[in-house]
Structure 1
């Protein structure tokens, strides 16, 4: 299952790189594409940063 997710991630990253190099694309889409590309490059860092924030342990302490 994990290899399928990695394959989809690599396909999406290559599609984003292709979208950045297109010259006929409207330039208003570039910030969104570049943001998503940076998030996909730093995917491990982003997920590790949000795990403590979104963990159930933090929510269960308040009850």
Structure 2
């Protein structure tokens, strides 16, 4: 009977996959703990405390 040899991906693929997994987990943890970045330069801070933009139509639910 022949023995089957397990084929594993090369170490570079495993290392890249591990790095991507760690970065994804850290990103999810960061945003779940801290939320979005308040005061970030890309945030114009035009939304009020209820987070509804000033241009939001009155006919749509908020």
Q: TM-score, normalised by structure 2?
A: 0.37
Higher relative contact order (CA 8 A, sep 6+): 1
Higher helix share: 1
Q: Which has the larger radius of gyration?
A: 2
